[in-house]
Amino acid sequence: MLQPEIYEDKLEQKNTNVPLQDLMDDEQLKRGQYYANQYLIRRGEVEQMKSEWDELWRLYACERDPDPNDPNLPNSFIPLITPVVEGQVAAMMESTIDFTHVTDNPAHEQYMRQLDEASAWFRRKGNFNLQMKDFARMYEVLGGAWIVPLWEKTHSKKKGVPSGYPRFTVPPIQSVLVDGRIKDYKDLQNAEYIIHEIGYQSIGWARKEYDDDMAEALAAGYNREDGEEPMQSYDDRNSFQLLHVWTRANEKGNLQLIEMDVNGLILRESDPSKPYYEKVDNEYPFYFARMMPKQGNFYGYGDGKILKPMQYTVNRLTDELELAARFSAQSKVAIDPKGECDVEQFNSDPSKPIMITNPNQNIRELQAGGINPVVVNMIEFTLREAQRATRFADIMTGQSIAASSTATSVNAQIQQGSVGIKV
């Protein structure tokens, strides 16, 4: 009996033995293999920084592994990176941002209001504020972040609704691979190529966007994952890693987009006889912001790296504080064996009586030394240094200020803090 076919069958591959030679000509085969090799090489080079970036994201997420050799050891975590980063993001992004379109041509003045309304619509549609908050978080934690403008197709079927809209996206810092010769992000436009990972595209989408033969030949099930413990799903098997290769390596020197998978299968390439984006001076549609520079390194570093050793120090000191509260701050009881007392009678319930012979002579409470004030002072010192190192004072988070602070000093501190986090 024949099984009925349903539309969902198109979401999976059926024949994965489609030879690439049947889908591309010789020039495409060679070009696809070239950029597949470039992707793997550059991917491996950037991957060397993944462990440091993942560690910073773990600290930002307030995650700390307990000591496997001592389960009773405290595993304290006093957030330091998270409140500083979120405070700076709020200071930069929660204020009202005005968007106004202007022109120096009087004849175009009547269209500026329409542009204002259209701009407000696509910013809402593309979650502009949320995207920029993620950009600011990545910028603060890792010291660098990408912004990529692209054209997004809408799903609406209503008349009068645009078929697409411009959208800003903030991809993971590892998902954009720049020509390795570029050591300074300000020279980004001089790169020979930029490879952008567009991960987790479905097989069904590939059938509609390209064709069935292309979808069957894709390297399905492979996607580079971000984070130390990424969320995995059974549905990932029906997705593939789409690569957008941007380059001007053609006879005309025009910006060209090559869409391919990790095996070098070129799905589509734009016409090299004219720039892919004609209205932006033939430039790459990528923008990178770096916080603090590393000499000779494309990527910089941010407040996350500055605060990392302080976070570890505060965690260890808080462990000491908890241990002191458990033991050093608790009094001990000395019992003379002559008192004939069962030590199991001692517990945390003071209402239960204790049977002992002549308690005044046979039992003594030894006062504990208490918590060493050096530990508390060191914690307070580290927290103060965190404010100085990140240029972000407690005043800017709404916390109380010293009674001796004047209005002039408070305003100056807020102003300088705002300047410091926007550099």
**Domain ranges, ordered by start, for the chain:** 9-303, 392-423
Task: Give the residue from 176, 175, 155, 172 showing the smallest Cα distance to 164.
Answer: 155
- Compute the distance between CA of residue 261 and CA of residue 264 in angstroms, rounded to an integer: 6
Q: Mapping DSSP to helix (H, G, I), strand (E, B) and coil, where does residue 266 land?
A: strand
Torsion of CA 61, 132, 179, 28, to 10 degrees: 110
Distance CA 271, CA 257 (A): 8
CA nearest to 183, candidates 294, 307, 106, 340:
294
- Please spell the DSSP secondary structure of 11-45, one letter per residue: GS-S-----GGGTS-HHHHHHHHHHHHHHHHHHHH
Whole-angstrom distance, CA of residue 42 vs CA of residue 174: 10
Q: Are the CB atoms for 288 and 188 separated by under 8 Å?
A: yes
- Secondary structure class of 99 (helix, strand, coil): coil
Cβ pair 174, 53 in contact under 8 A: yes
- Distance CA(421)–CA(416), nearest Å, equals 9
- d(Cα 382, Cα 387) in Å, to the nearest integer? 9
Number of H helices, E strands in the chain: 11, 12
CB-CB contact of 36 with 260 (8 Å) = yes
Distance separating alpha carbons of residues 23 and 196, to the nearest angstrom? 23
pLDDT of 372 reads 77
Residues paired with residue 381 on neighbouring β-strands, in sequence order: none
Which residue intervals of 194-262 are DSSP H helices? 203-209, 212-217
Q: Are 166 and 120 in contact (CB under 8 A)?
A: no
User: For 33-62, how does the pLDDT look when each residue is reduced to its tens digit (9 = 90+)?
Assistant: 999 999 999 999 999 999 999 999 999 999
pLDDT at 415: 54
Q: What is the pLDDT along the chain (423 residues), one digit of tens a residue?
A: 567 778 787 888 887 778 888 899 999 999 999 999 999 999 999 999 999 999 999 999 999 998 888 888 889 899 999 999 998 888 887 766 778 888 888 888 888 988 888 888 888 988 998 999 999 999 999 999 999 998 888 888 888 888 888 889 999 999 999 999 999 999 999 999 999 999 889 999 999 999 989 999 998 888 888 777 777 777 788 889 999 999 999 999 999 999 999 999 999 999 999 999 877 889 999 999 999 999 989 999 999 999 999 999 999 999 888 888 777 666 677 887 877 787 777 766 667 788 888 878 878 877 766 677 888 888 888 888 888 887 666 545 555 444 455 555 555 555 545 544 444
Q: How far apart are CA 277 and CA 285, in angstroms?
A: 8
